[in-house]
């Protein structure tokens, strides 16, 4: 069991006028990585930012924070190289957005990044499974991608459990509506990379929320290892 509990705040609902300091604040509060949501107005009905902003963040923050790029874009092939140059560490693309996932995985690796593969709520986990041996992380969306602050979809948990049973050492991320109320479900199902946006950003004490999320997740991982 090679994976560990990691918490990645999503900065989508932060004060975007001071994105750099919001990211620093999250790292200072104990975040394990930063989950950066890229939206192009085509794949999802919302727009955020692209590689120029990522490059500025990298310059502002230095090489330490791990940038997990959640690419909610219609043409994920187009942004692989620019994101790598900008300082992205992991390129998480949506299976629904490409007809050649194999090629894209290869390209991401050639550009020196880790590979994340995301599925929307309507996509089955069996569609992701053929690629699981070639990726670093599977992202099971627990809301329809596009906006922060939505309600957690508990009915996505069987996907996480199935992935955990089939791929015991894979990093499995959940994203959407995750916070203190829903973390137990995610952790029990087998998720180990936890994205949380509004629950952390809107809290008066983000450090405690991050620490709570990590503790719940770490306990579930330990329990699973004892049960094996």
Q: Which residues contact 200 (CB under 8 A, 6 or more apart)?
A: 9, 26, 29, 179, 206, 209, 210
Backbone φ/ψ region at 222: left (φ over 0), alpha (ψ -120 to 50), beta: alpha
Structure tokens at 119: 């599925």
CA–CA dist 103, 107 (Å, integer): 6
Residue 40 falls in the annotated catalytic set: no
In the chain, what's the furthest Cα-to-Cα distance?
Answer: 47
Nearer to Fe ion, 175 or 188 (CB): 175
Q: Is 179 annotated as a binding residue?
A: no
Length of the chain: 228
* 148 annotated ligand binder: yes
Min dist CB 94 to ligand 5SP, Å, is 10
- Dihedral (C-alpha) 23, 148, 3, 90: value to the nearest 10 degrees? -60
Q: Is 70 annotated as a binding residue?
A: yes
What does 135 bind: ligand 5SP, Fe ion, none (CB cut-off 5 to 8 Å by kind)?
A: none
Stretch that binds Fe ion, among 35-43, 89-97, 166-174, 209-217 (CB under 5 A): 35-43
Minimal CA–CA distance to 83: which of 54, 40, 106, 61? 54
User: Which residues contact ligand 5SP (rule: CB under 6 A)?
Assistant: 10, 12-13, 35, 37, 70, 143, 145-150, 175-178, 195-199
122 vs 133, beta carbon nearer ligand 5SP: 122
The 3 state secondary structure assigned to 9-33 is EEHHHCCHHHHHHHHHHHHHCCCCC
Cβ pair 210, 227 in contact under 8 A:
no
CB of residue 145 to ligand 5SP, shortest distance in Å: 4
CB of 72 to ligand 5SP, least distance (A): 6
- Annotated active-site residue 136? The verdict is no
* Minimum distance, C-beta of residue 147 to ligand 5SP, in the bound complex (Å): 6
Q: Given 15, 136, 175, 227, which residue is catalytic?
A: 175
Catalytic residue among 37, 40, 68, 171: 37
Binding map of Fe ion across residues 56-95, x = CB under 5 A, - = no contact: --------------x-------------------------
Q: Hey, what are 196's tokens?
A: 């949380």
Q: Which residues does the annotation mark as catalytic?
A: 37, 175
Which positions make up the binding site for substrate? 10, 70, 146-149, 177, 197-198
Which positions make up the binding site for a divalent metal cation? 35, 37, 70, 175
The site for Fe ion (CB under 5 A) is made up of 37, 70, 175
């Amino acid at each position: 069991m090679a994976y560990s509990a990691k918490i990645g705040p999503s900065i989508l609902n932060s004060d975007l006028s001071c994105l750099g300091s919001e990211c620093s604040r999250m790292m200072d509060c104990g975040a394990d990585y930063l989950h950066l949501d890229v939206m192009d107005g085509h794949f999802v009905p919302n727009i955020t930012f692209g590689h120029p902003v990522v490059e500025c963040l990298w310059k502002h923050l230095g090489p330490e924070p791990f940038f997990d790029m959640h690419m909610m874009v219609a043409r994920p092939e187009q942004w692989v190289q620019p994101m790598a140059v900008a300082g992205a560490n992991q390129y998480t693309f949506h299976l629904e957005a490409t007809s050649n996932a194999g090629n894209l995985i290869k390209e991401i690796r050639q550009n020196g990044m880790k590979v994340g593969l995301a599925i929307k709520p309507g996509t089955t986990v069996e569609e992701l499974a053929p690629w699981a041996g070639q990726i670093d992380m599977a992202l099971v969306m627990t809301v329809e991608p596009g906006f922060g602050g939505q309600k957690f979809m508990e009915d996505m948990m069987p996907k996480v459990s199935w992935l955990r049973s089939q791929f015991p050492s894979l990093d499995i991320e959940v994203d959407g509506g995750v916070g203190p109320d829903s973390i137990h479900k995610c952790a029990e199902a087998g998720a180990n990379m936890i994205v949380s946006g509004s629950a952390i950003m809107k809290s008066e004490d983000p450090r405690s929320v991050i620490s709570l999320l990590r503790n719940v997740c770490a306990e579930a991982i330990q329990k699973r290892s004892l049960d094996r």
